[in-house]
Amino acid sequence: MMSNILVNFSKANVGGGKSILINFLEHSHKLNEHKYFIITPDYNKYKSFTKNNIYILDIKKIYLKNTFFIFFYCYYIQKLIKRNEIDLIFNFGDVIIPTKRKQVYYFDWAYAVYGENYLWERMSVKDVLLRKTKIFLIGRYIKKLSLVIVQSQNINDRIRKKYNINKLITMPTPVNFTGNNVKFADKEKYNVDKLKIFYPASFFSHKNFEIIISLANDIKRLNKGHIIYLTLNKESSEDFFLKIKELKLNNQIKNLGRLNLEEIQKVYRESDIVVIPSLLESFGLTYYESMYYRKPVVASNLDFAKVACKNAALYFDPFNSIDILDKIEVTFKDDMLNLRLDRGEEIVKELPKWEETMMLFEKEINSVLR
């Protein structure tokens, strides 16, 4: 029997969430047993995906702002549920929707299970209040869910321990590399005195851009020729760029701005190494992209990074820029470099395909609906 499914992607604006949304829509032809009503962050951008049993809902952007998130979840979505006679909600949002309807929650908001002080100390008061409210709402409604899907075993362990729930499965996120499936050849020689260091990330407190300033300062102070390449939107990180100007680090840090898929691939190809000093990830798309393009990875010595990269990366103290610089340089002096690149390639090969995952999504939906 065909049911009506509401899919919430309201916060999939950037990074991994946006990647999941795009791939979900591009592979939505695999969802053929039900009607899917999909909330996206931008109706005009995604409305072309409306077809057959897939309906992109026209939501006013003002309702999707963080300021209105309680109104959106507690009132506006309730109207959508009634209007479209929804039987089940497939929720990719930050917050669990308060409803008596069956709900499958795709957990992609690691703040709810990481309470480390270093994550919260660097936030504005506004962000702390917003995120604490979201955590409160998750805690209040999580045991009422029909199913929780997580992307990695460390998140599974943490969420099970914190919330004591059993309706929980781990489903690794596919990474879609179509558009350029050519594996870039290993470089035989690196200019170890002038390395091109790549950190593709948007500006959020947990991405730890403060340490990038320290790293660039160390590169300058020690007369190294390395250059760090970033992909930031200047408008969202004005203070960061003022700091670069103040410390005269323009030769050490180059911002490329927001890049499209082809541009990102080009930068991966031209980079020598990817550094990822992030303090929090639910999954970590950048780890897998880096390994796919056979780029050496140095990452934070934290559980989520080790789950992703295993023994295919070197790990550093994310609060110690000298340690980061040491691991970057050691990478190219290490006889294990090519072996780590091979290990990374094997990790990527083990990831599921989007076609398979979409069918698994519908299988879990059918199981909950029974």
In the chain, what are the domains?
A: 4-174+352-369 (3.40.50.2000), 196-349 (3.40.50.2000)
Predicted confidence band of residue 1 (pLDDT cuts 50, 70, 90): confident
Q: How far apart are the first and last CA of the chain?
A: 10
Q: Among 308, 270, 292, 279, which residue's Cα sits nearest to residue 341?
A: 292
**Residue 183: its pLDDT value, please?**
52
**Residue 286: its pLDDT value, please?**
93
Mapping DSSP onto H, E and C, the string for the chain reads: CCCEEEEECCCCCCHHHHHHHHHHHHCHHHCCCCEEEEECCCHHHHHHHCECCEEECCCCHHHHCHHHHHHHHHHHHHHHHHHCCCCEEEECCCCCCCCCCEEEEECCCHHHCCCCHHHHCCCCHHHHHHHHHHHHHHHHHHHHCCEEEECCHHHHHHHHHHHCCCCEEECCCCCCCCCCCCCCCCCCCCCCCCCEEEECCCCCHHHCHHHHHHHHHHHHHCCCCCEEEECCCHHHCHHHHHHHHHCCCCCCEEECCCCCHHHHHHHHHHCCEEEECCCCCCCCHHHHHHHHCCCCEEEECCHHHHHHHHHHCEEECCCCHHHHHHHHHHHCCCCCHHHHHHHHHHHHHCCCCHHHHHHHHHHHHHHHHC
Confidence check: pLDDT of 319 > 90: yes
Of 20-29, 80-89, 161-170, 233-242, the poorest mean pLDDT is in: 233-242
The first and second tokens of residue 174, run together, are 């596919």
Mean pLDDT of 11-28: 90
Confidence check: pLDDT of 352 > 50: yes
% of the chain with per-residue pLDDT over 90 = 77
What's the whole-number average pLDDT of the chain? 92
Q: Among 68, 57, 58, 149, which residue's Cα sits nearest to residue 103?
A: 149
pTM reported for the whole predicted model: 0.88
Query: Residue 161's CB: how many other CB atoms inside 10 A?
Result: 10
**Residue 188: its pLDDT value, please?**
56
Mean pLDDT of 347-367: 95
**Residue 14: its pLDDT value, please?**
80
**Residue 64: its pLDDT value, please?**
86
**Using only C-alpha atoms, what is the Rg of the chain?**
21
Confidence check: pLDDT of 176 > 80: no
Mean pLDDT of 245-264: 94
The first and second tokens of residue 315, run together, are 């790990």
Q: What is the pLDDT of residues 88-138, one digit of tens each?
A: 999 999 889 999 999 999 998 999 999 999 999 988 999 999 899 989 999
Taking the CA atoms of 319, 321, 325 and 326 in sequence, report the sign of the dihedral they define: negative
Q: What is the pLDDT of residues 63-84, one digit of tens each?
A: 888 788 888 988 999 999 999 9
Confidence check: pLDDT of 16 > 70: yes
Confidence check: pLDDT of 296 > 70: yes
